Amino acid sequence: MAGLIAGTALDPLITGSLLWLVTRGPEKVRARIIERLAASPFGVEGPKKILKVLVVIGVIRRVNQILNNWSYRNWQVSYSGRPWIWRDEVAVVTGGSGGIASAMTRKLAATGMKIALLDLQAPPADIAALSNVHFYHCNITSSASVHEVAAAVRKDLGVPTILVNNAGTGAPYTIIDIPDEALETTFHVNLMSHWYTVREFLPGMIKARKGHVVTVASMASYVGVAGMADYCSTKAGALSFHETLTQEIRHRYNAPFISTTAVHPHWVKTAMTAPLESNIRKKGDGMMTAEYAGGEIAAAILSKQGGHLILPRSSIAMRLGTALRGMPSWINSAVNDGGKDIIRF
């Protein structure tokens, strides 16, 4: 609802039309509006000033959106790659047996594209039953394993043009208490694996003159939560990886036809967050379903354009959360303090 109200109030076509009616519209219409405003507690001039401010904000917001979308296209005036034909495309999804991946896979599979799921666990039965979905047992924390599986995917399905680095994990420990094994697993799954997969699949995208690399990060890219240092650190790193990858694609490989998308979900109801659900809800935070998150990521891929996806889309608070790093320290600290009881020991 908040998103709908903001979208209406900040739409310059709506506020601009209203302002025009009040100031320059047909005389009969203008006279009737002014008569009603004059009889209200707000008077005539107050609403006019508010509309003028909303028009200015709306225009700035619209220009910002246009520039954002242009940057997501790597500043191309028009797409310079080869056309997308979904039935001919191959998508690789890491952590392919999880809830978000399953929802995303259903949406992508419906287009006819071939999908390679990389995981240690087999996907749910309904996903495995899809004729264009193929499971590959892969340890993404091992460069050698990823290399071996990537060769098998190319041989079996063709050259992948879509890569979704979706796999994620975390360990509920303090910085002092976390075992080396748990720490290394989180860093390899959430961060190092991105190097392994991109090294394998990006060259094929460059040669094919089309591609899309999706980095599933988190709102934890922007905040620190006590007891989640491993997770927050790797998700901040994933965002940095995405930004640098975008620069290298544009300036080192001269491949602006390859899109990149960073995804930042808030709390998603999955097996990994199940032990935290009670504490999350006590804090007053909502949890989105894996179906919603996976569906939104699939929609972003099918849009054929890169981006910066904040989930849930309707949350203004989440969008503002991405600005935390640039806010005064006391604001950043207060927001981080809000999550101090999510992880309890």
Pair 308, 296: CB distance under 8 Å: no
Q: Is 235 a catalytic residue?
A: yes
Q: Any alpha helices (H) in 290-344, and if so which ranges?
A: 290-302, 316-321, 329-337
Q: Edge to edge, what strands does the sheet with 307-311 contain?
A: 133-137, 114-119, 90-94, 162-165, 211-216, 258-265, 307-311
Q: Return the number of other C-beta atoms located less than 10 Å from residue 326's C-beta.
A: 8
Decide: 104 and 298 in contact? Cβ < 8 Å: yes
Residue 93 CA to residue 119 CA, distance in Å, equals 9
Task: Please say if 282 is a catalytic residue.
Answer: no
- Residue among 136, 196, 210, 235 flagged as catalytic: 235
- 119: helix, coil or strand? strand
Radius of gyration of the chain, Cα coordinates, nearest whole angstrom: 23
Instruction: Determine which one of 72, 173, 231, 269 is catalytic.
Output: 231
d(CA 314, CA 124): 30
Residue with tokens 């995981």: 119
Rounded CA-CA distance 236/301 in Å is 22
Angle between helices 45-72 and 12-23 (to 10 degrees): 150
Residues marked active site are found at 231, 235
